């Protein structure tokens, strides 16, 4: 496997140093017991938030320059997506002001529509007729992203793609509870359903490659075993 891009490696080190990426034993919503846990909500310290914003901006710039996504607005679904979209937009303008400094905007949604003042469901740049890039932490079942897509389309926006911090590369639970069956991931299902480009700063493969020398051999072994057991077909 090729070495991680420098921004990915920097992001991974920051996540471990800030205890955002943890190793141990964690019960997920799916009831699976994961040997690692990632919580982007813990990037609340200034230096960690800067590392997060930088990683998102580099991932977006990389996808944009490759031609995979074209966008006008960075959209953060409430609530975790709000600081992510805000920070990423600022960092985009700092890293490449000629491309993003005066044209790229951000927006986010309200959980409940405001019935006074300016009203509405959206705060920030209007979405109508604009290409909208969704930025969020992870995709677990895909429910929150489907809701965000529906809100954007209702406002007249065009969803251009999705960027998340982590792709666990993990298959969805089988309807009959048999985890030995091949199944797609939540990201794979969204790609298939909407035909959208979806990118992640880090994948589980990146984590396993990047934590060598940063995590114990036992943590690496358990994470590799978890990947082998639950890796998705897509």
Active-site residue 212, yes or no?
no
Query: What is the rounded CA–CA span in Å between residue 60 and residue 68?
Result: 10
Q: Which residues contact 18 (CB under 8 A, 6 or more apart)?
A: 42, 43, 45, 48, 51
Catalytic residue among 114, 154, 181, 192: 114
Pick the catalytic residue: 64, 116, 229, 231? 116
Distance CA 15, CA 22 (A): 9
Residue 116 appears among annotated catalytic residues = yes
CB 122 within 8 A of CB 94: no
Beta-carbon contacts of 104 under 8 Å, excluding residues fewer than 6 positions away, are 71, 72, 73, 74, 89, 92, 93
Beta bridge partners of 138: 166
Query: Would you please indicate which residues are annotated as catalytic (active-site) residues?
Result: 114, 116
């Amino acid at each position: 496997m090729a070495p991680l891009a420098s921004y990915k490696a920097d992001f991974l080190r920051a996540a471990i140093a800030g205890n955002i990426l943890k190793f141990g034993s964690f019960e997920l919503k799916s009831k699976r017991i994961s040997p690692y846990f990632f919580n982007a909500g813990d990037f609340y310290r200034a230096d960690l938030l800067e590392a997060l914003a930088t990683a998102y901006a580099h991932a977006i710039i990389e996808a944009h320059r490759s031609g995979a996504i074209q966008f006008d607005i960075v959209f953060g679904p409430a609530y975790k997506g709000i600081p992510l979209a805000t920070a990423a937009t600022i960092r985009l303008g700092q890293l490449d002001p000629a491309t993003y400094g005066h044209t790229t905007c951000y927006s986010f949604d309200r959980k409940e529509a405001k019935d006074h003042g300016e009203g509405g469901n959206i705060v920030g740049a209007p979405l109508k007729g604009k290409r909208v890039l969704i930025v969020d932490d992870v995709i677990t079942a895909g429910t929150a992203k489907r809701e965000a897509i529906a809100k954007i389309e209702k406002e007249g926006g065009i969803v251009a793609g999705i960027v998340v911090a982590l792709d666990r590369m993990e298959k969805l639970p089988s309807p009959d509870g048999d985890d030995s069956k091949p199944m797609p991931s939540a990201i794979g299902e969204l790609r298939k359903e909407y035909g959208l480009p979806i990118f992640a700063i880090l994948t589980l493969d990146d984590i396993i490659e990047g934590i060598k020398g940063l995590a114990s051999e036992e943590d690496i072994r358990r994470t590799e075993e978890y990947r082998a057991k639950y890796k998705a077909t897509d």
